[in-house]
Chain A
Amino acid sequence: MYKIAVLGDRDSIYGFAALGLEVFPVSDSEEGARTLRQLSEQDYAVIYITEALAEKVPGELERCREGLLPAVIPIPGVHGNTGLGINMVKHSVEQAVGSDIIFNGN
């Protein structure tokens, strides 16, 4: 039985607590990276992370890419959409196909 975590700045994620997800408010990127690493070693199947924080911890994000679990999924925070999430999908396409054929460069 796995759990779901939500990671990011407090304002963006407190609403998820009401749904029954576990929220981990972090204030800076160092703390974020540390928490993400700890969470990925525990039994969390999905870790939602705000795009703003995800941008600051590319190393940890890359590390979680190859394993089966957890799935680290960027979501837009309260400060808006930075496009990181869609860029990660783009990255997958480029890795698999060799060039971006789904988004056609936009």
Chain B
Amino acid sequence: MASKQITPTRMELTRLKKKLVTATRGHKLLKDKRDELMRQFLDKVRENKALREKVEAGIQAANKNFLLARAGMQDQVLNTAMLAPKQRVSVESGVENVMSVEIPTFDFKTRTPDKNDIFSYGFAFTSSDLDGAVQSLSDVFPDMLKLAEMEKACQLMAVEIEKTRRRVNALEHVMIPELQENIKYITMKLDENERSTQIRLMKVKDMVLKDAHNYETF
């Protein structure tokens, strides 16, 4: 049964039919979008998981090294060593479009090209553990940036997939059945009206014939 009052007219029927065509096409397109997004998302998320495991292991190893370094040095010396970093990292951010989802891309630049600029201290008063620790952190950094890119992409795509899925479901389970129901209702109503008009005309014809010629058709 139609959920709300609809007027059974030809105009309404044409309107609903047009709407149904649009809804069906929209449904197909959105479904394709969802499938493609899902495919890319699953690839990305698998990569994301692997990368995260790698980065977490890397950072944990670096943290261990830092802990060792701190144990072997005075706090003040360590603070002084880290006080004025020579190196500076900046990020260029671009935008990539994946199925109309905008995801950021990061590209980092260091202020100086010299790799050894991550050691911002003289080596005389610091323990060698600190060098190792900073080096291990620096090794894991490119992966960290890749992780940031990947994880943000996954988050944004997840939001978009959820939205698209809801739209597809709304079209598939609410909009399209409702439209079909309404179209069916109008068609039946119009057919019924036509039949009743036909019968009325036949009856009228009978009556007219009977009056004019005293003529019985049955």
Contacts and interface: CB of A to CB of B under 8 A. Distances in A.
Interface of A: 1-4, 11-12, 14-21, 45-46, 48, 65-66, 68-69, 71, 73, 75-78, 80-81, 85-86, 88-89, 92-93, 95-98, 102-103
Nearest to B135: A18
Contacts, number: 148
B52 A2 contact: no
14 contacts: A18-B134, A18-B137, A21-B89, A45-B91, A46-B106, A68-B152, A69-B104, A71-B151, A89-B48, A89-B52, A92-B45, A92-B155, A96-B41, A103-B49
A18 B85 contact: yes
Contacts of B155: 65-66, 88, 92
A81 B152 contact: no
Contact of B56 (A15, A76, A98): A76
A-B interface, 6 closest residue pairs, ranked by CB to CB distance from nearest? A20-B87, A71-B152, A92-B158, A96-B161, A96-B158, A20-B89
Interface in B61-112: 62-63, 66-67, 70, 78, 82, 85-93, 95, 102-104, 106, 108, 110-111
B175 interface: no
A15 B133 contact: yes
B145 interface: yes
A68 B30 CA distance: 22
Contacts of A48: 144, 148
Which of B46, B89, B165 has the most CB atoms of chain A within a 10 A radius of its CB? Answer: B89
Interface residues of B, number: 62
A91 to B, nearest CB: 8
Interface of B: 38, 41-42, 45-46, 48-49, 52-53, 55-56, 59-60, 62-63, 66-67, 70, 78, 82, 85-93, 95, 102-104, 106, 108, 110-111, 117-120, 133-134, 137-138, 141, 144-145, 147-149, 151-152, 154-159, 161-162, 165
A73 B152 CA distance: 8
Nearest to A71: B152
Main secondary structure of the interface of A (DSSP, over half): mixed
Contact of A66 (B149, B151, B159): B159
A71 B149 contact: yes
Nearest to A48: B144
A32 B118 CA distance: 27
Given A48-B148, A68-B102, A96-B45, 14 more contacts: A4-B90, A15-B134, A17-B85, A20-B110, A20-B117, A45-B93, A68-B156, A75-B144, A76-B56, A88-B155, A92-B154, A92-B155, A102-B42, A102-B49
